């Protein structure tokens, strides 16, 4: 079996203090779908990543490679 893709989608959402329901409503998906993607049960799409990046005000790359709990030397405009 393939291992789920490594990303920080859930950590970013929690870091920002947002609920699954809140984020799902804002980006036009269901909280069930978002939950499955966060848990690696469902692959994420580019469209979903772009919507989450917009909602969280970070880059798509940040969602995939940067743990929001780690201090970062750079800021996203």
Q: What is the pTM of this model?
A: 0.83
Q: pLDDT confidence of 6, banded at 50, 70, 90?
A: confident
Name the residue with higher pLDDT: 32 or 75. 32
Tens-digit pLDDT profile for residues 59-72: 999 999 999 988 75
**pLDDT above 70: residue 3:** no
Rounded-to-integer distance, Cα 53 and Cα 61, Å = 9
Q: What is the pLDDT of residue 70?
A: 82
Average pLDDT over residues 31-41: 96
Residue 26 CA to chain centroid, in angstroms? 13
CB–CB of 67/13 below 8 Å? Answer: no
């Amino acid at each position: 079996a393939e291992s789920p893709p490594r990303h920080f989608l859930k950590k970013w959402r929690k870091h920002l203090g947002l609920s699954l329901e809140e984020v799902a409503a804002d980006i036009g998906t269901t909280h069930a779908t978002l939950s499955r993607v966060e848990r690696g049960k469902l692959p994420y799409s580019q469209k979903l990543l772009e919507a989450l990046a917009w909602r969280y005000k970070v880059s798509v790359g940040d969602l995939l490679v940067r743990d929001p709990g780690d201090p970062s030397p750079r800021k996203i405009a």
